[in-house]
Structure 1
């Protein structure tokens, strides 16, 4: 026989999810004394922080399954902000400065940015970057001119997609720098408590969990 056919994986958001009320409850008891407030428009507010050059911890919906952060538990940055990659490596993730970062983008942007048009929903393929884009999003282009990308299609992660649409409106490019929400040697953040522990153990200034913006006051 030919065995059992393998079904194609469509999405990886298979882990736990938390409500904004659970986020607020975690903030209320955390010894770091976080400040928090509800956002009316999470994608827009987050895009404004990113476009201003700030790294932002992004905690939304169900956690990803697998080795890549795909917009559920991520640290984000604007790929056009000079030095953002080194700042995240040195002050937030505490890892070697040469470690590269990867982009997430609207799926319709990928054919413009890359020399090959191929689906890339899970950040498992590396592509050669077209010359014009190497200077537009330099913080996510590796030394050899490639990028390992997540090209997000509509309907798989609506809030993350909306964030990148807002980035496109603000900066011209529907692309974000995306790395996992953890520090070197630690597991990826899962719960609001995990996120707060990582937040207060790094130089992150902004943490967006569900509808809640958390700062250190």
Structure 2
């Protein structure tokens, strides 16, 4: 898509879009596996496990299968271990992607309110943003447990648009995964995919169902396209 509506708000995924948190998520997942006497997994294997909330992440980590479902009692024990470890080591190895802070500040300078919409627990997301010095840039954080639905459902995006006081078609959703693109399309938002995250955005773009309106390599590219000189 080469045209866009007037953009009045911007929402961002967290893991794989604003920050690389894979090492800390993988460490917590491996701690859960260790508690069940299972061998540790390479963190690269867990890239495909991230994005649908920590409940599914623990199921996938325990079974070493993106479609796996662990026995309930095992999952309950392992999830408690995961949650404790991740809460205690939330930002040990997590870092902000290059140019993210600059891109967010540029968008704020345009007067565009910003939100985070993630499938991570809201409390973890808010605390991680605080520890990394990003919290003050955002007007709203919507987590995977904020509502009864999460991405790829449209509900979190519709909720964010309502809170920010804009129509869904006047909000962009920026993310690195199919869930982000599907949620944006379901909500009627403008979808922007990033190339540097956990998923192969160019491959996702081959399918019309998961094809974003724009693909960018850095967040400042979004500002370059939205700044007043570029508005049609």
Question: Fold-level match, TM-score > 0.5?
Answer: no
Larger RCO: Structure 1 or Structure 2 (Cα < 8 Å, ≥ 6 residues apart)? 1
* Band the TM-score falls in, shorter-chain normalisation: under 0.3
> Would you tell me which structure has more helix in proportion to its own residues?
2
TM-score, scaled relative to structure 1: 0.26
| TM-score (norm: length of structure 2) | 0.25
